[in-house]
Amino acid sequence: MCHLAAYVGDRPVAPLLLDALRLQEGYFGGQATGLATLDGGRIRMVKRPGPVDHVIATSAITTLTSTTGIAHSRYSLNVLKGQEYNLKGNAHPWLSEDGSLALMHNGIITNYKEHWAALRSTHVFTSYSPTVEDITDSEVALHLLDLKVKAGRPTAEALRDTANSLTGMVLLAAVNAEEPETVHVANWMQACTLAKGDGETMFTSSRLGLAGLRGELDVFRAPRNSLITLTRDLVEVRKLDPSRHAPDPDLAEEALLEQSLRVLREGGEMDSVALLTALSRGGFEEAFHVPPDEWRRMYLAGHGDQNQIMEPLAAAAAKGRVRRRVQVRREGGVDVPRVMWSA
């Protein structure tokens, strides 16, 4: 569960995208921050462990300039196990070996080890750690995309093929150095917010990341199972996989709040991950108005609405219906702001 942001337009990219991450990172993210920009036909990138303000203070991330960029705030349950899981190499975006492609991911890829086994003899996995004998699942998507682009596939179609070869919770966003002012997004069943203005387009995991631009852009939710291309003047949405149906039940916000308050009264103060984990065991079926077995099937098929669910909870907190505070916690060797909820 991570937070993502992308932009095409005339605003300064680094402060805009870093602010979008900062607004979201307390819910899920902050363990690592990264930004990649298209600049003069090449990709420039900075990524480090830690939340936005820490990375700004310890790197040159704010010097990246461009009209196009993608940014990522990482959350990994593995990082909670120890500092050895929060290496610089685990941060997103990922850069291809020749520097021509950058890709970031939200979700959990469940078949990444199969792809890793097929790719590891011919590709360098920068996230590989001999200490834990593993890689970050998202890096597999980069190498798959790179192979398809190098074989002559257009970037959008290569991203479509890559996403459709992966199982689990999958949202990918990529830029190609040969395609200025273009961002491609492949979304199976993750929360994905799109925004369009005059000569500018943007994407964030949640509307919460667009708070600094409220009223300046037209904001709308991307459909499930979508292949999205962002340019200055266009948000193009196509089917990611026409052969598959992605369940898209309506979220009943009042029911979500009722179930969240029930969980918080029973379990006390929780961070966002703990709250959603509890709701997954009981509560989401009411929030989405589906039978328990149907909710389980949706979850196993890759449904990942974590970021969207934070929006009504944040609105309820603003009205005093649920309590929200920010606690700084040590995760993976860095101090991370973490939103805490209570009844």
What tokens appear for 177 in the block? Answer: 């150095």
| pLDDT of 83 over the 80 cut | no
Average pLDDT over every residue of 313-337: 95
What tokens appear for 235 in the block? Answer: 């948000």
Three-state SS for 288-321 is CCCCHHHHHHHHHCCCECHHHHHHHHHHHHHCCC
213 pLDDT band (50/70/90 cuts)?
very high
Please spell the DSSP secondary structure of 92-149, one letter per residue. SPEE-TTSSEEEEEEEEETTHHHHHHHHTTTS--TT-BTTTTB--THHHHHHHHHHHH
Average pLDDT over every residue of 25-33: 94
CA triplet 223, 228, 42: central angle to 5 degrees? 150
Mean pLDDT of the chain: 93
Average pLDDT over every residue of 125-144: 88
Domains of the chain by start residue, with CATH: 3-239 (3.60.20.10), 253-342 (1.10.10)
| pLDDT of 251 over the 80 cut | yes
Per-residue pLDDT reduced to its tens digit, 196-209? 999 999 999 999 99
The pTM of the whole model exceeds 0.85: yes
Lowest mean pLDDT among 45-49, 90-94, 132-136, 259-263: 132-136
341 pLDDT band (50/70/90 cuts)?
very high
